[in-house]
């Protein structure tokens, strides 16, 4: 799809914005679990409980979005990254104790979660009728390239330059601030009509259900997969950063290919394939130590972490599915935002439940639960039907 000059300018600005956002997110992801373990010595149950303030903004995002409904999507995205910058900077400098850290984490997470649906919605504005997946794949590939730089910076900083967690969070905050500025200089679009806010449509019920399953699956892996590496396999910050770098390198090529695969083969096939693969990833996380010796088990866990990181990008298929079934263009952004809120109702709960399962039954059962969710996702994805007159 050839873009007019004015649109191409905004396309390049948005490409730069999401790339820098990917860089900053990678820096945070590379250090956060070790930051928790080394700064506060939290227990496994506390690690699960911590997800409540971190994921609560995901549930509240539809209300925050409505609060700023007078802004265009692009201006709202700029504000979201400004909040993320302030929050992560405060985590680095003002976390005088655990409760204060949770307060700043809540602010950071509010910005993160507000930006999530906006990024997909804005990204699809630059797509034609038949290449939404490819366009999102381009953006995600660029984010991955930038994420490599972020995780590599963490690796080099902690290995050779005596980086502190404060240094890492400062770099991430600077990145989010740059994203906010870039988005602000994009040509503003029109705010969505207020009447589209808070609306749940029965026509989108499968989309909402897929978001619920994604939210529970995502939370188990975001919270407990790196926790397995840190607590069960005793891996340090540099190792997690290296795995993120490996996933980023692969993702440069994988994500654009995935976007084209979505356009060619359809959302149903891609989401079903993701769910099937996740069953094996769950088994690798949960039972590699049971099935293999410690060295082999460690490399199985490493492989699962990288594969899982790549599979997160299949969320593109849910966004393009929503675009195809939307009754009106205004429904797309609203439904994506509502989907984030709905999935976080369940992701908060699953984090608490999984933390309790970890300490009472063992971490293996957390991933057994995740395998069950993956099977439910496999069946649900098989129910996807695209209308013949889809956008």
Q: Quote the mean pLDDT of the chain.
A: 83
Query: What's the CA gap between 125 and 138, in Å, rounded?
Result: 13
Report yes or no on 320 lying in a domain. Answer: yes
List CB contacts of 376: < 8 A, sequence separation 6 or more: 213
Classify residue 41 as exposed, middle or buried by CB count within 10 Å of its CB (0-12, 13-18, 19+). exposed
**What are 360's two structure tokens?**
């009472």
Report yes or no on 387 lying in a domain. Answer: no
Report yes or no on 132 lying in a domain. Answer: yes
Longest dimension (CA), the chain: 59
How far is C-alpha 377 from the chain's CA centre?
Answer: 18
State the CATH number of the domain containing residue 29: 1.20.1250.20
pTM given for the model? 0.73
Report yes or no on 386 lying in a domain. Answer: no
Question: Which residues does the chain have with pLDDT short of 50?
Answer: 194-196
Report yes or no on 211 lying in a domain. Answer: yes
Q: Which domain holds residue 55?
A: 5-381
> What is the per-residue pLDDT for 195?
45
Q: In this predicted model, what pLDDT tens digit does every residue of 223-246 receive, in sequence order?
A: 788 878 888 888 776 777 788 778
Number of structural domains (the chain) is 1
Report yes or no on 391 lying in a domain. Answer: no
Report yes or no on 216 lying in a domain. Answer: yes
> What is the per-residue pLDDT for 85?
96
Report yes or no on 390 lying in a domain. Answer: no
């Amino acid at each position: 799809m050839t873009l007019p000059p004015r649109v191409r300018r905004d396309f390049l600005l948005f490409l730069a914005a999401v790339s820098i956002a990917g860089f900053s997110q990678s820096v945070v992801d590379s250090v956060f679990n070790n930051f928790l373990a080394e700064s506060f010595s939290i227990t496994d149950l506390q690690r699960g409980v911590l997800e409540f303030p971190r994921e609560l903004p995901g549930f509240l995002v539809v209300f925050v979005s409505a609060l700023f409904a007078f802004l265009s999507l692009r201006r709202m995205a700029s504000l979201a990254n400004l909040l993320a910058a302030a929050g992560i900077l405060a985590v680095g400098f003002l976390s005088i104790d655990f409760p204060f850290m949770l307060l700043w984490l809540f602010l950071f997470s509010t910005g993160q979660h507000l930006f999530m649906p906006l990024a997909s919605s804005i990204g699809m504005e630059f797509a034609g009728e038949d290449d939404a997946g490819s366009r999102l794949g381009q953006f995600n590939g660029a984010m991955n390239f930038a994420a490599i730089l972020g995780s590599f910076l963490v690796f080099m900083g902690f290995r050779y330059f005596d980086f502190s967690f404060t240094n890492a969070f400062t770099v991430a905050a600077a990145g989010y601030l740059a994203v906010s500025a870039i988005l602000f200089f994009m040509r503003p679009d029109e705010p969505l009509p207020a009447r589209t806010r808070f609306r749940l449509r029965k026509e989108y019920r499968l989309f909402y259900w897929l978001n619920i399953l994604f939210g529970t699956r995502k939370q188990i892996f975001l919270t407990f997969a790196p926790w397995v590496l840190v607590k069960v396999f005793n891996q340090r910050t540099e190792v997690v950063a290296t795995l993120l770098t490996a996933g980023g390198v692969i993702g440069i090529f994988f994500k654009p290919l995935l976007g084209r695969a979505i356009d060619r083969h359809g959302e149903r096939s891609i989401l079903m394939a993701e769910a099937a693969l996740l069953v094996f990833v769950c088994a690798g996380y949960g039972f590699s130590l049971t099935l293999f010796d410690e060295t082999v088990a460690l490399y199985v866990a490493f492989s699962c972490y990288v594969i899982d990181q790549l599979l997160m990008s299949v969320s593109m298929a849910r966004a393009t599915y929503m675009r195809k079934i939307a009754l009106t263009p205004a429904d797309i952004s609203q439904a994506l935002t509502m989907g984030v809120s709905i999935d976080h109702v369940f992701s908060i709960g699953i984090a608490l439940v999984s933390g309790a399962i970890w300490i009472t039954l063992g971490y293996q059962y957390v991933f057994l639960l995740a395998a069950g969710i993956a099977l439910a996702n496999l069946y649900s994805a098989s129910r996807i039907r695209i209308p013949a007159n889809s956008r």
